[in-house]
Amino acid sequence: MAHNHLFGVDSIFNSKSMMKKLTIKKTLNSPEILMDADKGIIEIKGVSFLEDSVPFYIPVLHWVDEYTTNPKVTTVNVELTYFNSATAKILLTIFKSLKLIRKKDFKLTINWRYAEDDEDIRNSGFDFAKLADLEFNMIEK
């Protein structure tokens, strides 16, 4: 098993190069991300307003791409308090990629958490669900 530590990203690969676990620590303008293939868990929490979101999310997109080739029952927990339009585009790409899990007959649960008074984040969850053609559990916290 190989470990990779780069730019605050910790990832663990097994010998077949499938990424098992990806952890990215939050910063002032980027979210905490936990992706665990063994447990079928994906978590994105915090804020995401990077000037250029693509480099930050490349490991995430790679992990999702690898994971969807051999998925399992999966739970996605998203709890963002703010994100910009660049992040929104990447989130939509992630959600559309995750549809492959359902197509392979595995259960996919997406929990979209938002603050009671945050209509923008709540509405964004509805928008993502519609655009990605996925069902989201809208959870007011």
Write the CATH number for 26: 3.30.750
Q: Please say if the pLDDT value at position 123 is more than 60.
A: yes
pLDDT of residue 18: 57
Q: How much is the average pLDDT of 15-37?
A: 87
Q: How much is the average pLDDT of 39-66?
A: 96
Looking at the 3D structure of the chain, how many domains does it have? 1
Half-sphere exposure of 25 (CA within 13 A, CB side): 7
**Contact assessment for residue 94 and residue 60, using Cβ atoms and an 8 Å cutoff:** yes
Q: How much is the average pLDDT of 23-43?
A: 97
In three-state form (DSSP H/G/I as H, E/B as E, the rest C), the secondary structure along 60-112 is HHHHHHHHCCCCCCEEEEEEEEEECHHHHHHHHHHHHHHHHHHHCCCCEEEEE
Q: What is the pLDDT of the chain when averaged over all its residues?
A: 90
Judging by beta carbons within 10 Å of its beta carbon (0-12, 13-18, 19+), is residue 1 exposed, middle or buried?
Answer: exposed
CA dihedral of residues 121, 125, 127, 132 (deg, nearest 10): 150
Q: Please say if the pLDDT value at position 5 is more than 60.
A: no
Domain that holds residue 92: 2-140
Phi, psi of 41 (to 5 degrees): -120, 135
User: In this structure, which amino acid lies at residue 10?
Assistant: D
